[in-house]
Structure 1
Amino acid sequence: MAALDFIVCDESDVFVTNNNGNMARILAGRRRYFGHKPTIRPNAKKLYRLFLNQTTMSWEAFASKMRTYQRGFMGEPKGGEAG
């Protein structure tokens, strides 16, 4: 099952990791090396606060904050992952 998971994640157009384990790191590096397919690393600390308040804001405000919080965590090709 782990091998199948790896293959599916490697071949997908976008990979969203939910942890910072070895498989996620290997996949992110491999995806960058072979054609830079986007890898999204959720910014858990900021998203936690956003999800707590998501019922009290409009979709536009939620989407805007999501994009802002994820800046630098979206797998940009030129070192944009610090954040």
Structure 2
Amino acid sequence: MLYTVIVLFSLTAGLVALSAFMLLVHSIRREDRRRSLTLSPRSALSSGTRRVLGLSVDHTACVIHPEHACPTCLELDRELRV
């Protein structure tokens, strides 16, 4: 009886870990296709993936040196000037 419980728990934990890994890989590929790492995350999955991977974008350099700004900051600057 105890053996069955341990095996079922192990299988469940393994499936949960595999599902989380698959979601993480899917989200990474989606962010890479969209080239949207410098933008705000579009979904909770994207936000969670960035948190797990430790990714954050610091636009301080774009503000200090606007001539070397990233494409996202340049586009936002263009939109604000119009």
> Is TM-score (shorter-chain normalized) higher than 0.5?
no
Larger Rg: 2
Compute the TM-score of the two structures, normalised by the length of structure 1.
0.27
Between Structure 1 and Structure 2, which shows a larger proportion of helix residues? 2
Give the number of the structure with larger relative contact order, counting CA–CA contacts within 8 Å between residues 6 or more apart.
Answer: 1
